[in-house]
Amino acid sequence: MPTTSREIRLKSRPVGAPALTDFELAEATLPDPGPGEALVRNLWMSVDPYMRGRMYDRESYVPPFQIGQPLQGGAIGEVVASNDPALKPGDRVESMFGWREAFVAPAAGLQKLPDLNVPTQAFLGVLGMPGMTAYTGLLNIGDPKPGETVFVSGAAGAVGSVVAQIAKIKGCTVVASAGSDAKIAWLKSRGVDHGVNYKTCGPLLDAVRAAAPKGIDVYFDNVGGEHLEVALELARPFARFAECGMIAQYNDTAPRPGPRNLIYVVGKSLKIQGFIVSNYWSQRPQFLADMAGWIAEGKIAWEETVEDGIANAPQAFLNLFSGANTGKMLVKLG
């Protein structure tokens, strides 16, 4: 039973692209769990693009990370000791305490994993925040109908890969953009109709237009930038844009001009709607039921990219921005 825990702290706020020197590995001594508390040893940690936003010192939907404090984020751990009747040693729990090997926290703030026949770490991916982000954003905002064309960027990532597969389940034609031929090949193996390797395709507009000659009805945006401008250009009347993220812009050091063709929003009657997964928290039971069913039927599969050990968490995070991951980026502990 550890009484100490290594953790990753924010050492400095990145300017532009984050660097390893913006993070530091440190050791904390843990107290014994008090009444109502539990001691948890993390097994898997999540690194996610949205964490870049919390490294800025600004007001947002979540408070910024603080210098000298461990980074918060999703993790799955195992209860080692519990002072609360709701948890017992061996229970597997999800938390948001982030990049630590172990921690002590109130049991009420820990979520026991549902009893589903999937690997534990899936609760950080398809069955966790990224999967629910894909599910709720696509279905609530994108509202895809059979026969429509869905365009998804960042399509090999933890969110995009689920979007692409749900869109196929819903009977859509799917055009997926990703940054390597291997990623495109995986997407095609999952039934995606057209893949665009944005790094090698030449002018992105031409490549996506060739894949979607009749235009697009739904755009699920994970990247912003040029992809968003292309989607506006090719949008059919009444198209819906689910704005999930703009990873291409997260490391910008100056405000980036928006798409030059935003005016299409009027004439084409477009809907461009941003969201965060917590807006749809009440849909979690339905999400878990649908997703577990689709996984059991083989309709949803996933890839993982795993780094080992807490010391490698900063590198795993940096790799998100170079697109080094296919599917969910994870850090394995213990």
- Among 66, 69, 111, 269, which residue interacts with a copy of itself (rule: CB under 8 A)? 269
Q: Is 290 in the site for a copy of itself (CB under 8 A)?
A: no
Give one word for 183, left, alpha or beta, with left for phi > 0 and alpha for psi -120 to 50.
alpha
Nearest 10 degrees: CA dihedral of 301, 185, 52, 232? -110
Structure tokens at 6: 């290594």
Taking alpha carbons only, the member of 296, 295, 257, 280 closest to residue 137 is: 280
Q: How far apart are CA 144 and CA 239, in angstroms?
A: 10
- Sole window of 11-19, 116-124, 212-220, 257-265 interacting with a copy of itself (rule: CB under 8 A): 257-265
* Partners of 315 in the β-ladder: none
* Partners of 331 in the β-ladder: 45, 307
- Among 74, 179, 195, 224, which residue interacts with a copy of itself (rule: CB under 8 A)? 224
> Among residues 98 and 259, whose Cβ is nearest to a copy of itself?
259
Taking alpha carbons only, the member of 40, 46, 51 closest to residue 10 is: 51
Site residues for a copy of itself, 125-164, by CB under 8 A, read none
- Among 28, 205, 274, 305, which residue interacts with a copy of itself (rule: CB under 8 A)? 274
Residues that contact a copy of itself, how many (by CB under 8 A): 33
> Among residues 66 and 269, whose Cβ is nearest to a copy of itself?
269
Q: How far apart are CA 157 and CA 167, in angstroms?
A: 15
- Among 12, 197, 279, 315, which residue interacts with a copy of itself (rule: CB under 8 A)? 279
Q: How far apart are CA 306 and CA 257, in angstroms?
A: 35
Q: Is 249 in the site for a copy of itself (CB under 8 A)?
A: yes
* Residue 257 beta carbon to a copy of itself: minimum distance, rounded to whole angstroms: 3
Pairing of strands 173-178, 23-29: unpaired
Site residues for a copy of itself, 29-88, by CB under 8 A, read 53, 60-61
- Among 145, 199, 214, 256, which residue interacts with a copy of itself (rule: CB under 8 A)? 256
Q: Is 268 in the site for a copy of itself (CB under 8 A)?
A: yes
Q: Is 23 in the site for a copy of itself (CB under 8 A)?
A: no
Give the largest Cα separation in the chain, rounded: 63
- Sole window of 5-13, 96-104, 201-209, 242-250 interacting with a copy of itself (rule: CB under 8 A): 242-250
- Dihedral sign computed on CA atoms, order 114, 290, 62, 150: positive
Return residues touching a copy of itself (CB under 8 A).
Answer: 53, 60-61, 224, 237, 243-246, 249, 255-276, 279
